Structure 1
Amino acid sequence: MKTDSIFYRIFQSIPTTFFELINQPPQLPSVYQFSSVEVKQLAFRIDGVFLPNAAELPIYFAEVQFQPDKKFYSRLFTEIFNYLDKTELINNWRGVVIYPNRSVDTGDSERYTELLNSQRVTRVYLDELSSIEASSIGIETVKVIRNS
């Protein structure tokens, strides 16, 4: 999807943008490596993965979802858990889903209530970014994408 590749380029070029979206310290990008990964055998593609250089830091899985999709959460957690199963990394994990607005968040969530209501998953709604006080070029770019 076109939007996914735009976010991939932003996160690759300005990784602080991702961490600003989830209200994490601005120095975190220096200890993470960003990539898009494919889980072999099942050919799932995760939009973006921030891999830390220390075992005590979590892996961040980033998914950009600009279209309503009832099966989104099923696929998201399948991709994450397959990735965790296929790798030897011992890090904890966090999932971040980026939506243009709440109306696109139409995935069947009842089965995943505990995960979605935990600190494991953060949902970012771009139309609500005005609540982020410190604007950067990355955040301003994301706002422009949402408005186009």
Structure 2
Amino acid sequence: MGDKLLGVAALPDGQRRRGLHQGLEQLLEPQLSEEQIMVIAGIPREEIRHTRAVQDWLAEGRQEGEANVTLRLLTRRCGLLNEATTARIQALPLEQLETLAEALLDFQGPADLAAWLAAHA
């Protein structure tokens, strides 16, 4: 498989794109382990961790995790949140989620959340 991906570079553009797409689909198969992907791609783990794609995935995971924890805490502090408020919080950048997570410790109820969101729009 790794040889197959390397051979794709020599193909004309249209075939190259199809070859890369097929190779990436195989690399991203859910049943493959991290080690199998590293062997197929021929890239050491430490090197791939520093690629833009992996850094983006890690940042996305951190943002989603922070949003989930913050939403759980807000639900306990403010009660059930409506879909619009939930979506708005999930869309916040990581830095704002961290700020909200700290601020919610002082919230007395939903009005404090509404005021925070209005102030940080």
TM-score by length of 2: 0.22
Larger Rg: 2
**Which is strand-richer, 1 or 2?**
1
**Which is helix-richer, 1 or 2?**
2
TM-score by length of 1: 0.19
